[in-house]
């Protein structure tokens, strides 16, 4: 048998090297598979959200069970007999190996069964269904207040700063916005209660259900995001005011309403919407402290009480709800940005 001659170094260097497909090639295959760049973008975002949710579920389950202490003993009290404790543990499935508990938890998620609360002995799903609307309402109202207040404040401060006529007022407004961004919402909540509930007795210090009980929690939750969004609008407005197309429009002596509303604002929406996504996620997370301070029966106060009681099923249910809310908010912002700028979505898909 004849052995073929070994290839020379020059021929090796000249021979083509196989290239590993990059992520862009996978994106091309996905676009070819679904037949639409926009649909490919949506599917990719949905897939990322699902993967993130699975990671959160796995991490939250095992981290919660690493917390020391017996939730059954904490729920029943120290005077209950060991037999009663073991009976409740068997009833809730907490006597099973951790791996078996995790598989049972996943099976329950598929069927919509989030388990039973250790402390209240009620289905976790029923508890969350009662309290979720309160948290959603508080978050949405606060977000709307922050967004509606940020645009006029940001535009006004940017126009004033560019004119250079009110430097002292501009510096004061910038400093005030910085302070409001830095102040924690729970500290602001305590100050609001001290002034408007204890001092002036204008609003109730706690509770939920009456219009007067909504005012202070919304202010405490919305002030920081309002200041943050105002800063974003301010910076973007200053950038847009120096663009050539706006200089041309200004040279035509157009009214300020047309100049700012028709020509300037549409060009700052994308950046503001991106910041709005961060704000919306922060608002959802911020409800934990605000609901606790104002004794609001929402998801936020539920997670605090469940952690205190080491209520595993309830903690896992609340974490699941918060993860879905955060991922849904990010997904909505991505879709909104894709609708405003379809070319970037097609390029990313």
Domain with 258 in it: what CATH number?
1.10.3720.10
The answer to whether the CB of 158 falls within 8 A of the CB of 151 is no
Flag whether pLDDT at 236 surpasses 70.
Answer: yes
| Domain contains 18 | no
Flag whether pLDDT at 6 surpasses 50.
Answer: no
Average pLDDT over residues 74-93: 76
Measure CA of the first residue to CA of the last residue in the chain; give whole Å: 53
Average pLDDT over residues 274-298: 86
Beta-bridge partner residues of 116:
123
Task: Say what the pLDDT of residue 223 is.
Answer: 93
Domain that holds residue 65: 38-118+312-349
Percent of the chain with pLDDT over 90: 15
| Domain contains 2 | no
Q: What is the mean pLDDT of the chain?
A: 79
Residues 288, 332 within the same domain: no
* 219 contact partners, CB below 8 Å, separation of at least 6: 188, 192
Residues 88, 145 within the same domain: no
H or E element, residue 69: none
**Alpha carbon distance 51, 20 (integer Å):** 24
**Alpha carbon distance 209, 35 (integer Å):** 49
Residues 203, 291 within the same domain: yes
Residues 173, 241 within the same domain: yes
Confidence of residue 256 (pLDDT cuts 50, 70, 90): low
Residues 136, 243 within the same domain: yes
Q: What is the DSSP string of 217-239?
A: HHHHHHHHHHHHHHHHHHHHHHH
Output 121 or 9, whichever has higher pLDDT: 121
Average pLDDT over residues 312-330: 87
Residue with tokens 């679904």: 34
**Alpha carbon distance 329, 307 (integer Å):** 25
Of 322, 285, 294, whose CA–CA distance to 188 is shortest? 294
Output 22 or 265, whichever has higher pLDDT: 265
Within 10 A of 308 (CB to CB), how many other CB atoms are there? 10
**Alpha carbon distance 53, 40 (integer Å):** 20
Task: Say what the pLDDT of residue 144 is.
Answer: 92
Residues 202, 268 within the same domain: yes
Flag whether pLDDT at 156 surpasses 80.
Answer: yes
What is the count of structural domains for the chain?
2
Average pLDDT over residues 42-50: 86
Residues 231, 330 within the same domain: no
Count of residues for the chain? 349
Flag whether pLDDT at 171 surpasses 70.
Answer: yes
The answer to whether the CB of 41 falls within 8 A of the CB of 349 is yes
Residues 86, 143 within the same domain: no
Output 95 or 24, whichever has higher pLDDT: 95
| Domain contains 48 | yes
Residues 96, 66 within the same domain: yes
| Domain contains 213 | yes
Give helix 269-293 / helix 124-163 axis angle, nearest 10°.
Answer: 130
Flag the least confident range among 69-73, 99-103, 104-108.
69-73
pTM of the full structure: 0.76
**Alpha carbon distance 78, 74 (integer Å):** 7
| Domain contains 203 | yes
Residues 220, 246 within the same domain: yes
């Amino acid at each position: 048998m004849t052995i073929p001659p070994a290839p020379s170094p020059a021929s090796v260097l000249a021979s083509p090297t196989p290239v590993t497909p990059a992520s862009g090639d996978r994106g091309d295959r996905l676009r070819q598979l679904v037949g639409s760049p926009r649909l490919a973008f949506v599917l990719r975002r949905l897939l990322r959200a699902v993967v993130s949710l699975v990671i959160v579920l796995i991490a939250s389950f095992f981290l919660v069970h690493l917390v020391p202490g017996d939730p059954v003993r904490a729920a029943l009290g120290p005077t209950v007999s060991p037999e009663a404790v073991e009976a409740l543990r068997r009833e809730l499935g907490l006597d099973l190996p951790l791996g078996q508990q995790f598989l049972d938890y996943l099976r329950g998620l598929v069927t919509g069964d989030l388990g039973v609360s250790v402390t209240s002995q009620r289905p976790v799903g029923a508890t969350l269904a009662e309290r979720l609307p309160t948290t959603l309402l508080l978050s949405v109202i606060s977000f709307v207040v922050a967004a509606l207040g940020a645009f006029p404040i940001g535009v006004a401060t940017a126009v004033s700063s560019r004119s250079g006529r009110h430097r002292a007022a501009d510096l004061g407004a910038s400093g005030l916005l910085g302070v409001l961004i830095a102040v924690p919402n729970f500290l602001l909540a305590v100050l609001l209660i001290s002034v408007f509930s204890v001092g002036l007795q204008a609003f109730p210090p706690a509770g939920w259900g009456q219009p007067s009980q909504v005012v202070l929690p919304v202010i405490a939750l919305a002030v920081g995001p309002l200041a943050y969004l105002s800063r974003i609008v301010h910076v973007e407005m200053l950038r847009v005011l120096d663009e050539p197309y706006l200089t041309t429009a200004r040279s035509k002596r157009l009214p300020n309403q047309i100049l700012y509303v028709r020509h300037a604002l549409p060009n700052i929406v994308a950046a503001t919407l991106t910041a709005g996504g961060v704000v919306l996620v922060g608002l959802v997370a911020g409800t934990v402290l605000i609901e606790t301070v104002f004794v609001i029966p929402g998801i936020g106060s539920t997670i605090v009480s469940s952690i205190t009681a080491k209520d595993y099923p309830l903690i896992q249910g609340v974490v699941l709800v918060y993860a879905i809310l955060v991922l849904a908010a990010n997904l909505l912002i991505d879709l909104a940005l894709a609708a405003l700028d379809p070319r970037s979505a097609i390029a990313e898909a």
